[in-house]
Structure 1
Amino acid sequence: MPKIDTSKILILSTDGFEQSELEFPRDQLRAKGATVHVATPDGENIKGWEGDGWGREAEADLSIADVKIEDYDCLVLPGGQINPDLLRVNKDAVELVRGFVKHDKIVAAICHAPWLLIEAGVAEGREMTSYHSIRTDLKNAGANVVDKEVAISNGIITSRSPEDLKAFVSKIVEEVEEGEHERSAA
């Protein structure tokens, strides 16, 4: 059985991520011993969004093009309104999300990040939650939308907002320690 302290986790993000939704999982998972890398479209550092303006920078470890899915146990997708909106029109980012699902890796998306799951075509038939303003998008993509702090469906974890971050990270740890998740096709 895999353990969180031997796992490798990838966070995919770009500018405009919700500050806490990248930093909290990154820092909590690292504190539990996981190796956590941040991938950005070009491998450059990115700037978060906090409150009503730009926040702190997050250090990038690699570019999307340099990611090898087989090296990771889990993909974490932070929300914010800007970040997933930019990534869902980035062909390489969408293919990376689709690849993690195809390879039975855990995928965890919070807030507006389920937009990437919709764009990757993996929402249909799954129980999911999200930020309230994009729940209609999830419904239209065929997801069974629920309003709770964490929804899990065949290794895909979704949460609503920064208030759910503790439960979100706890579920990531639990799922990583359970191992790979075979999925029925969405």
Structure 2
Amino acid sequence: MKVLIAIPPEKFRDEELLIPVKKFQEAGVMYELASTHVGVVMGVYGKKAKVNRTFEDILLKGIDDYYALMIVGGPGTQVHLWNNRHLMELINVFNTKQKVVAGIDNAPIVIAKTGILKKKQATVVPGQTVREMMKEDAIIVNKPVVYKDKIVTASGPEAAEEFASIIIKYEKSDPEFVPTSGKAGFAF
């Protein structure tokens, strides 16, 4: 199973792609990049990435090969992804099939715009993004990473390593499950 990484066609936050990709490689987790078009995309700080799939192509072919969708943030995310109907449809398909949906920096906004964060805790980079999340009825928590019900949100590049670690844990097990010493899963 792979992680599908959604990336804007320009101006993504370099470290929000590079740090998770490095963690995925170290953990042996496969990944694939997708965007609004195929080709080379450039980050805010000049790093380049090659995109081989479009969101529309993945919708047509299906998501069976993936266990998670990770959305990279940055200025390009606001411009190209916040209102991208194909990406929103992908988010809904992943969520419906109980697969992981993850967004970092300002990417949680596109997740919120699908409605799946309504009345749920999430985090986002500080600024106008908080207002955008609140418009969609998300409950903003001041933490670097928030995860529940296979939805992972992270506040920015400084949280990229922890963000990637949680996504990796979902492939092998459920990081939300906390074993108890009581009988039948109840703590007494």
Same fold (TM over 0.5): yes
Q: Alignment RMSD, CA only?
A: 1.6
* Alignment match of 1:66 (pick from 45, 57, 67): 57
Corresponding residue of 2:27: 32
Q: For residue 80 of structure 1, what is the aligned residue in structure 2? A: 74
Q: Which has the higher mean CA deviation after the structures are superposed, 73-82 or 83-92?
A: 83-92
CA distance in 2, matches of 1:84, 1:31: 30
Displacement, 1:177?
1.7
Residue by residue over 1:109-136, the C-alpha shift from the partner in whole angstroms, topping out at 9 and shown as x without a partner, is 1110011112222110211001011112
Letter aligned with residue 54 of structure 2: S
CA contact (8 A) 2:36 2:55 kept: yes
1:32-73 deviations in Å (ceiling 9; x for gaps): 1111100111222211112xxxx1211113121221212100
Task: State whether structure 2 residue 70 is matched by structure 1 residue 49.
Answer: no
Alignment-mate amino acid for residue 108 of structure 1: A
Q: Can you give the 5+ residue segments of structure 1 that lack an aligned partner in the other structure?
A: 1-6, 182-186
What is the aligned partner in structure 1 of residue 140 from structure 2? 145
SS of match in other structure, 1:132: coil
Larger Rg: 2
Q: Which SS does the other structure have where 1:108 is aligned?
A: strand
Secondary structure in 1 matching 2:33: strand
Equivalent residue number for residue 177 of structure 1: 172
CA distance in 2, matches of 1:28, 1:167: 10
Report SS of the residue matched to 1:39: strand
Q: Say whether the 8 Å CA contact 2:40–2:48 is kept in structure 1.
A: yes
TM-score in terms of structure 2 length: 0.84
Q: Which runs of no fewer than 5 residues in structure 2 stay unpaired?
A: 177-188
> C-alpha separation between the residues in 2 aligned to 1:62 and 1:82?
18
Structure 1-normalised TM-score?
Answer: 0.85
| CA distance in 2: counterparts of 1:136 and 1:92, whole angstroms | 24
Q: In the superposition, relative to structure 1, how do residues 8 and 120 fare at CA in structure 2: closer, same or farther (>3 Å)? A: same
**1:40 and 1:31 mapped to 2: Cα distance?**
24
The residue identity in structure 1 corresponding to 2:112 is I
